Structure 1
Amino acid sequence: MARALWKGAISFGLVHIPVELHKAVESHDLDLTMLDKRDFSPIGFKRYNKASGKEVTWDHIVKGYEHTDGEYVVLSDEDLRLANPKATQTIDILAFVDAESVPLTFYETPYYLAPGRGGDKVYALLRETLRKAGRIAVATVVIRTRQHLCALVAVGDGIVMNTLRYASEIRNPEELKLPGDAGITDKELKMALSLVEDMSEEWNPLAYHDTYREDVLKLVEKKVKAGQTHTITEPSDEAPAPKASNVVDLVALLKQSLGSRGRAGAAGDEEAREAEEEEAAPRAPRPRRAAAGASKSRSPATRSTATETSTTKRASSAKAAKPAAKPAAKPAASGAKTSTSRRKAA
């Protein structure tokens, strides 16, 4: 494992357990670099002296506390450690409480605690004591320049230290407009419980992953293959999202959700039974096709006559479907021929 972030000891009563602090989580954020849009060169950031404007290297940077406007007290890492050596070197357990009594909103960042040199037995003793008692240990620890409230939890063969937020950091939910029962009916609750039961399964953390990150990386690969390494996709004009209606048929939505899971819910059981009964019922025999049988027994001459008759009928239908000619056209032509014959006779 990587180098320990912090070394010290767990302390409660007269018990002293040497431990090392290690990160329990790691980030898989997309590593995106800021570029200059004009020539796609990377953007850099500098630490500079605000008075002179010149860049300052790390070996010339110190920490300071501004006690009055523009006046600072310089504090080195050694000063911060000597301010309270015990606080910076120990995880001081204050109390043991029920795990369920600490709301989820208080939990912040988990860390692994590993036993330090010569601390295996006392480490295992604390772990098993926490597990048997069904408690977590609430403690304080100073990491870098801040004191954290934390909880020690027995997890498997180890102890996890999870930093906690202070009560002053948690917003009061009364500031939000949260609904009460909101008129939920027993039928809606029953359907929702059926959906929860239908979707219940064993916890498998490996089944969940960052699909959005994978989609972005696929897009990157697609752009690389297409040679679009410097192409900027401009924002598209998207249609405004339709306004949600305040009237929602929860039962219908829950039925659709249950159906999409491929299992029948409470409301779908009756339909499933009806479908099964319909399948089980004997079907009436299909009538024989008399026309087909008759055509097989006909002679070639008869079939030929039937074909001609069918063709004649189709032709008659086609003629009937055509629009009638204008009635005024034929009389005019007939009149013209009659007058011409009369002049010849004269």
Structure 2
Amino acid sequence: MHTIWKGAISFGLVNIPVKMYAATEEKDISMRYLHSKCGTPLSYVRKCPNCEVEVAWEEIQKGYEYEKGKFILIDKEELDQLKTDTSREIQILDFVRLSEIDPIYFQKTYYLGPGDTGVNAYSLLMQALNNSGKIGIAKVTMRSKTTLAAIRIIDNCIAMETIFFPDEIRPVHQVPNLPEKTEVSDKELQMAEMLIEQLTTPFDPAKYRDDYRERLLGLIESKMKGEEFKVAPDTPQTNVVDLMAALQASLEAVQPKLDPKAAADPGSGEDAKPAAAAKKTTKAKTAKTTRKKTARKAT
């Protein structure tokens, strides 16, 4: 695994040397643009449309567009002067519970391995985090950008999750057409809850696959072998307008043995029970009554 950053974790007066590694990798299949006439890969040229000449890197300058077509020019030296934190340090500011952070804040995950020295301090922090059930909120500068980060444990390894600053999260009220009041049918709600229960399972990431990437790889391999590639037709989707009908069809699809009458009329109010539970209760009552009759006859 390639080291992408070296530094140290600090909290209080404790300093722990670490090496950073990418915890994830992109699996997108990279393809280049070719000239259709000759098959030659295309190259990109930095060209000024005003001067109509190719521009070298040393002639390129950064600028901020404050109005359409109007820029504030900024030199590299001016940007360098703004960098106040150039230390290679992951400074833990606070400790919080992971459950307090909404997943919307998380960006990218990195593994932090122990440096050439400080293995004992690394183990100490890892064990302390495990025992406390807390994670660290830290600040770190990477690639000239300061970001927040969460320091936590993943499978006996200290990991760092970069997270957004609060002002980088767009407020929910900007989403158009959000319902102001939630009004749903009791029967529709109960059927939806039944459907959720039927589809509930322990999380197993191995069961989820990138179907498009697998089909694209199949297409590439078939073309390399000179074979014809065929894609299975998609399952036709039924345009169900009635919400109750859609819920009923979904329940029948995930649980074929479910009593259709019970699924169609799951009951209403707080005393309503799912069909399976009601059926179980009825059987229990019937058995109890039969035992009582048998006992009286024996007497």
TM-score, shorter chain, exceeding 0.5: yes
Contact residue 85 and residue 141 of structure 2 kept, 8 A: no
Secondary structure of the equivalent of 2:35? coil
2:120 is aligned to: 121
CA deviations over 1:65-109 (Å, ceiling 9, x no partner)? 659855624479xx68984343xx100111111212211111001
CA shift, 1:265, in A, is: 3.8
Secondary structure of the equivalent of 1:5? strand
Alignment partner of 1:264 is 2:257? yes
2:10 is aligned to: 11
How well do the aligned residues superpose, as a CA RMSD in angstroms? 3.6
2:296 is aligned to: none
Alignment partner of 1:141 is 2:140? yes
> Percent of pairs identical after alignment?
31
1:150 is aligned to: 149
CA deviations over 1:121-166 (Å, ceiling 9, x no partner)? 2222222222222222111100111011111112220111010011
Q: How does 1:18-97 map to 2 (within 5 A)?
A: 18-46=17-45, 53-54=53-54, 56=56, 69-70=72-73, 72-74=75-77, 83-86=84-87, 89-97=88-96
Q: Which amino acid aligns with 2:139?
A: T
Whole-Å Cα distance in 2 between the matches of residues 71 and 141 of structure 1?
24
Whole-Å Cα distance in 2 between the matches of residues 189 and 36 of structure 1?
56
Q: TM-score, normalised by structure 2?
A: 0.71
Which one has the largest radius of gyration? 1
CA shift, 1:185, in A, is: 1.8
CA shift, 1:180, in A, is: 4.7
Unaligned residue ranges in structure 1 (runs of 5+): 229-240, 274-346
Contact residue 137 and residue 151 of structure 2 kept, 8 A: yes
Whole-Å Cα distance in 2 between the matches of residues 262 and 191 of structure 1?
13
Whole-Å Cα distance in 2 between the matches of residues 132 and 253 of structure 1?
47
Contact residue 126 and residue 153 of structure 2 kept, 8 A: yes
CA shift, 1:224, in A, is: 4.8
Alignment partner of 1:254 is 2:247? yes
- Equivalent pairs counted in the alignment come to 251
CA change 1:127–1:226 in 2 (3 A) is same
Contact residue 11 and residue 93 of structure 2 kept, 8 A: yes
Q: How does 1:298-309 map to 2 (within 5 A)?
A: none
Whole-Å Cα distance in 2 between the matches of residues 139 and 270 of structure 1?
50
Contact residue 83 and residue 144 of structure 2 kept, 8 A: no
1:278 is aligned to: none
CA change 1:53–1:253 in 2 (3 A) is same
Whole-Å Cα distance in 1 between the matches of residues 81 and 108 of structure 2?
23
2:205 is aligned to: 205
Secondary structure of the equivalent of 2:28? coil
CA shift, 1:38, in A, is: 3.2
CA shift, 1:55, in A, is: 6.6
Whole-Å Cα distance in 2 between the matches of residues 92 and 270 of structure 1?
55
Secondary structure of the equivalent of 1:195? helix
Greater helix percent: which structure? 1
Whole-Å Cα distance in 2 between the matches of residues 82 and 170 of structure 1?
24
Contact residue 64 and residue 75 of structure 1 kept, 8 A: no
Whole-Å Cα distance in 2 between the matches of residues 102 and 19 of structure 1?
25
Contact residue 65 and residue 74 of structure 1 kept, 8 A: no
Whole-Å Cα distance in 1 between the matches of residues 215 and 32 of structure 2?
18
Whole-Å Cα distance in 1 between the matches of residues 164 and 184 of structure 2?
34
Q: TM-score, normalised by structure 1?
A: 0.62
Contact residue 93 and residue 138 of structure 2 kept, 8 A: yes
CA shift, 1:196, in A, is: 1.6
Alignment partner of 1:187 is 2:187? yes
CA shift, 1:255, in A, is: 1.9
